[in-house]
A and B are shown apart, each in its own frame.
Chain A
Amino acid sequence: MSATMTDAAPTNHSAARLASPRRDLSWTAAPLVGLLGLAAFWVFPEDLGLMTRIAAAALYVLSLDLVLGYCGIATLGQAAMFGTGAYAAGIAAVHLVNDPLILLVIGGVAGGAIALATGALILHARGLTLLMLTIAVTQIVQEVANKARDWTGGSDGLSGVDPAPVFGLFRFDMVGRTSYLFALAVLVVGMLVARRIVRSPFGLACRGVKEDPVRVAALGGSPRAYLVTMYAVAGMFAGVAGALTAVSSGIVGLDSVSFSWSAEALVMLVLGGTGRLYGAVIGTVAFMAAHHILAATDPFHWMAFIGLFLMGVVLFLPGGIAAGLERLRDRLTGTKSGSAPGGRA
């Protein structure tokens, strides 16, 4: 608190400080991602495949942010929802429909359903027990996908996803232009919807549960119900991301339900910064671009790099890249840091 502050209105002053330490520019995140994504479309026409994967992965990491950043649920099982969505969309595409938007809806519903079912079962636990339960759910989903060979192709993967043109107008071409623009559009819409959700009374209640579940219960809310609902909502996002991957790449593999894909989501989110939504996008772009460059030479170089990077972030840059950027901006503009660790969206 500054020394010039009058004693008469301390609460007003601090409230004003908290509300707007600077202009809230977080609404620019989604349009900015759209614009930068379009710019990348012309700057890197050779890397459309990679950029499509990044856009779909960013949506997936965003779904983890809803759970981890806004509810405080540490999970290593987000891939269960992603993979379920991907397989649901893939199987539907092979046997039933091939309209890409309907496939996304199917993926979202499947991801949300599995999240709702498992979340209601496991979200009573906390800490290590919860981590183990989320891992176990993912492993079982993977095992089922592996066994249901007739439907999923097992370890060979599910291929033959051949989506119809978007809105009946834009064909999925060989170069991947349509895929990329479609994925980018879905990501931007996903960011807008997610922002709307976390700023709604429900989203605020979830943040309340994260801060202090006992107080939320005392105020008449049901912490468990909020958590399960948000888990299901995040599951829908992850399912859509999985469906998006299936539609844009045409294949679904067992690695989309793997433990390592869950762990990678966590790594990407924490690199970018939790509780911010755009942190998920920053982290995904940084992680996957670095992976693309380094893993090309030797996967173990990549592991050493990402391992050191992770340790560095935890020790020296808590809050991830986004928090680091905010601090840098604060230093450049001379504002005193008011960056809330709970995050703003």
Chain B
Amino acid sequence: METLFGIAVDGVAYGMILFIISVGLSVTLGLMRVVNLAHGAFAMVGGYVASYAAQTFGLPYAGALVVAVLLTVLATLPLETLLYRRIYGHANELSQVLLTIGLTFVIVASVNYLFGPSLKRIPLPELLQGTVALGPKSIPTHRAFVIVAGAVTLLGLWWLLERTDFGIRLRAAVDDPAMAAALGIRTERLYMATFALGTGLAALGGVLGAELLPLEPYYAIRYIVLFLAVVAVGGAGSVFGSAAAALALGVTDTAGKYLIPNFGEFFFYAALILILFRWPQGFFKGKTA
């Protein structure tokens, strides 16, 4: 019982981090049809910026978080114009994979050059240390915070995509880019805004998840497969699909590690194969939210 509770809390918190990072990838993949392997690198950059801001300038956690998200978005926006715009679309899958792998390598090397190869931490404020009581059980405050942050992100994205003008335009462009452009939607700007949204979410997840996915230069390569798995299972462009997939894979992975630690990632990948075999397009293909 104690173990089950631990698996549930850790698995859901882990799943929420996976969700926050992967949903950014899912949105950009759904709209621009670009397999962005550098997404994990963007999350890592966010984490490093937050760590640097907190450690060197003594910014509080919330401040570091905001600075990290803003700086990461600002730093990656030129990449959209210079690199990504050339490789949008279905036909370029291989170019996308290679260009973004190349970009990832460059970011990994730069981060190592600037910050060194050692593990970086983002110090948690007093508020997030310790535990919160939840009836008879208590859970670590940071886990609870991550779970709440994930839920808020989910609701916020749902509201953004379903209830705002931006969301309507975005969904129109996902369904039929040519028609959307003909109707006067400025797809280039929309792409830029979506790219910014995607990297912003990556940075947010990178900072929030620094306790679960530790920050080191190989972060970008180590976890990208996880994020891609969530997107493939959830269905590109689907917010609720990403959430469901992230939670399912997060809990599976955590349960596997708790119960049968010797088999490492085996269960994660076995679940991945089974799910993709049954639903090759992911859980929620074709629904934006």
Q: Which residues of A contact B (CB under 8 A)?
A: 68, 74, 76, 121-122, 124-125, 127-129, 131-133, 135-137, 139-140, 143, 146-147, 259-260, 263, 266-267, 270, 274, 300-301, 303-304, 306-311, 313-315, 318
Contact = CB atoms under 8 A, between A and B. Distances in A.
B236 A310 contact: no
Interface string B93-123: 1110111011111111110110000000000
B128 to A, nearest CB: 33
B109 A300 contact: yes
13 contacts: A76-B97, A122-B276, A129-B282, A132-B276, A135-B228, A136-B270, A147-B262, A147-B263, A263-B101, A267-B98, A307-B106, A310-B98, A311-B83
Contact of B272 (A127, A132, A259): A132
Interface string B267-289: 00110110011001110000000
A140 B273 contact: yes
A270 B98 contact: yes
B35 interface: yes
A127 B225 CA distance: 15
**Residue from A131, A260, A307 having most chain B Cβ neighbours under 10 A:** A307
Contact of B263 (A121, A124, A143, A259): A143
Contact of B94 (A124, A260, A270, A308): A270
Contacts of B87: 314
Contact of A127 (B93, B273, B277): B93
A143 B98 contact: no
Given A136-B272, A147-B262, A307 B102 contact: yes
A312 to B, nearest CB: 8
**Residue from A74, A124, A314 having most chain B Cβ neighbours under 10 A:** A314
B108 A303 contact: yes
A286 to B, nearest CB: 15
Nearest to A140: B269
Nearest to A263: B101
Given A143-B269, A311-B106, A315-B86, A135 B225 contact: yes
A318 B266 CA distance: 37
Contacts of B228: 128, 131-132, 135
Contacts of B108: 300, 303, 307
Given A121-B277, A127-B93, A128-B35, A307 B98 contact: no
Nearest to A301: B109
Given A74-B94, A74-B97, A300-B217, A310 B105 contact: yes
B101 A136 contact: no
Nearest to B230: A132
7 cross-chain pairs, A with B, having the tightest CB-CB distances, nearest first:
A307-B105, A310-B102, A304-B109, A307-B106, A311-B102, A132-B232, A136-B269
B231 interface: yes
Contacts of B107: 307
Given A300-B112, A310-B105, A133 B29 contact: no
A131 B109 contact: no
A129 B105 contact: no
Contacts of A122: 273, 276-277
A20 to B, nearest CB: 29
Question: Chain B interface secondary structure, helix, strand, loop or mixed?
Answer: helix
A272 to B, nearest CB: 13
B105 A303 contact: yes
A98 B234 CA distance: 48
Given A131-B35, A303-B106, A318-B95, 10 more contacts: A128-B231, A129-B276, A143-B263, A267-B101, A304-B113, A306-B105, A307-B103, A307-B105, A310-B102, A311-B103
A258 to B, nearest CB: 11
B11 to A, nearest CB: 19
Contacts of A68: 94
A8 B110 CA distance: 61
A44 to B, nearest CB: 28
A259 B217 CA distance: 17
Interface in B175-233: 217, 221, 225, 228-229, 231-232
A122 B86 CA distance: 30
Interface in B71-101: 83, 86-87, 90, 93-95, 97-99, 101
A315 B113 CA distance: 25
Contact of A314 (B102, B109, B265): B102
Contacts of A146: 264
B280 A314 contact: no
B109 A266 contact: no
Contacts of A133: 272-273, 276
A309 B102 contact: yes
A121 B270 CA distance: 13
A187 to B, nearest CB: 24
